[in-house]
């Protein structure tokens, strides 16, 4: 199976000033392309050659194949949760579940920002659900993905330096605080409902 990089549903400058056009061009245009190109090369001739990317993430042993599959998937998931005009707060069942789990939507955002600020090195902050609909906020180092732990991802924040350094330099907390301004909660609700 050949993996391809999808076209973003917005222009490279659409997320500014939260994420600049330059960051989108480097992060999506170069980093993500490299993960997909490397994944296509590594998967050839393996038992995963015809497997969907999610199966590779769940079942591959730690190493380059898993890392590139997870990073390719994680970045698509990350960039496709953004919109320059989307809804900035959850509604309905997901909103209620966030309130029940974290106390309030603002408390959830603070907890996610804290998780991102305290993750040592590179990685991801994830909001995920289990098969019973319970929510989990987790940190994942490097290319970790909640699917490896039996969870379904709903939202992620990339805290690798290439996600924010051109725009925020070493001010990761500033990036974490402003990224909410481009997350489209209709997308997250769709993931929760599916």
Question: Which domains, from first to last, does the chain contain?
Answer: 21-79 (1.10.287.990), 92-193 (3.55.40.20)
Residues 6+ apart with CB under 8 A from 179: 18, 19, 157
Residue 105, classified by CB atoms within 10 Å of its CB into exposed (0-12), middle (13-18) or buried (19+), is middle
Residues 6+ apart with CB under 8 A from 46: 65
pLDDT higher than threshold 70 for residue 98? yes
The pLDDT tens digits of the residues spanning 25-54 come to 999 999 999 999 999 999 999 999 999 999
Residues 6+ apart with CB under 8 A from 98: 90, 104, 105, 108, 135
Contact 128, 135 (CB under 8 A): yes
Distance between CA 68 and CA 87 in Å, rounded?
A: 31
Mean pLDDT over 90-117 rounds to 98
Cα 65 to Cα 37, 110, 148, 170: the distances in Å are 11, 34, 14, 30
Average pLDDT along the chain? 97
pLDDT higher than threshold 80 for residue 161? yes
- Tell me phi and psi for residue 30, to 5 degrees: -110, -55
Share of the chain above pLDDT 90, in %: 99
Query: How far apart, in Å, do the first and last CA atoms of the chain sit?
Result: 25
Distance between CA 37 and CA 43 in Å, rounded?
A: 10
pLDDT confidence of residue 1: 66
pLDDT confidence of residue 80: 98
Length of the chain equals 194
């Amino acid at each position: 199976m050949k993996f391809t990089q999808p076209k973003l549903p917005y222009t490279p400058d659409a997320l500014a000033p939260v994420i600049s056009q330059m960051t989108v061009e480097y992060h999506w245009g170069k980093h993500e392309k490299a993960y997909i190109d490397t994944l296509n090369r590594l998967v050839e001739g393996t038992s995963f050659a015809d497997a969907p990317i999610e199966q590779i993430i769940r079942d591959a042993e730690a190493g380059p194949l898993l890392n590139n599959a997870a990073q390719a998937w994680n970045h698509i998931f990350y960039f496709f949760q953004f919109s320059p005009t989307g809804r900035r707060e959850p509604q309905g069942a997901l909103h209620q579940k966030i309130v029940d789990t974290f106390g309030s939507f603002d408390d959830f955002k603070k907890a996610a920002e804290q998780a991102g600020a305290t993750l040592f090195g590179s990685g991801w902050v994830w909001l995920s659900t289990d098969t019973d609909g319970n929510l989990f906020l987790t940190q994942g180092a490097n290319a970790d993905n909640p699917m490896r732990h039996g969870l379904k991802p709903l939202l992620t924040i990339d805290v690798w330096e290439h996600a924010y350094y051109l725009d925020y330099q070493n001010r990761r907390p500033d990036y974490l605080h402003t990224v909410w301004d481009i997350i489209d909660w209709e997308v997250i609700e769709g993931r929760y409902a599916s």
